[in-house]
Amino acid sequence: MSGNVNATPPTAQRRVVIIAANPTVSTHTGWPIGFWWAELTHPYHVFEQAGYAIEIRSPAGGRLEADGYSDPEHESGYSANDFVSLGFKKSPTHAALLTNTRSIADVDPANYDAVFLVGGQSPMYTFTEHEPLHRLVASFYEAGKIVAVVCHATCVLLRTRLHGGDLLVKGKTWTGFANTEEKLADASVGRRLQPFWIEDEARKIADTNFIVGPTFREFAFRDGQLITGQQQFSGAAAARLVVEALGR
Task: Enumerate the domain spans of the chain.
Answer: 15-246
In the prediction, which pLDDT does 243 show? 98
- Count of alpha carbons within 13 angstroms of residue 13, beta-carbon side: 10
Element of type H or E holding 83: helix 83-90
**pLDDT at position 35, please?**
98
With beta carbons less than 8 A apart as the criterion, state whether 133 and 127 touch: yes
For residue 35, the SS3 value is strand
What is the pLDDT at residue 12? Answer: 87
User: Please, which residues have CB within 8 angstroms of residue 196's CB and are 6 or more apart in sequence?
Assistant: 124
Task: Return d(Cα 150, Cα 117) in angstroms, integer.
Answer: 6
Q: Three-class SS of residue 54?
A: strand
Q: Domain spanning 15-246 has what CATH number?
A: 3.40.50.880
The residues facing 134 across adjacent strands are none
Residue 5 has a pLDDT of 58
Query: What's the confidence (pLDDT) of residue 247?
Result: 87
> Quick one: how many helices (H) and strands (E) in the chain?
8, 11
Q: Is 149 within 8 Å of 156 (Cβ atoms)?
A: yes
3-state SS assignment for residue 211: coil
From residue 246, alpha-carbon distances to 7, 40, 47, 58, 237 in Å are: 6, 19, 11, 23, 14
Residue whose C-alpha is closest to residue 16's, from 111, 126, 122: 111
Rounded CA separation 220/241 (Å)? 8
Element (H, E) at 48: helix 37-49
| pTM exceeding 0.75 | yes
Distance in angstroms between the alpha carbons of the first and the last residue of the chain = 18
pLDDT at 6: 53
Q: Would you state the pLDDT for residue 248?
A: 76
pLDDT of residue 2: 42
Task: Give pLDDT tens digits along the chain (248 positions).
Answer: 444 555 445 558 999 999 999 999 999 899 999 999 999 999 999 999 999 999 999 999 999 999 999 999 999 999 999 999 999 999 999 999 999 999 999 999 999 999 999 999 999 999 999 999 999 999 999 999 999 999 999 999 999 999 999 999 999 999 999 999 999 999 998 999 999 999 999 999 999 999 999 999 999 999 999 999 999 999 999 999 999 999 87
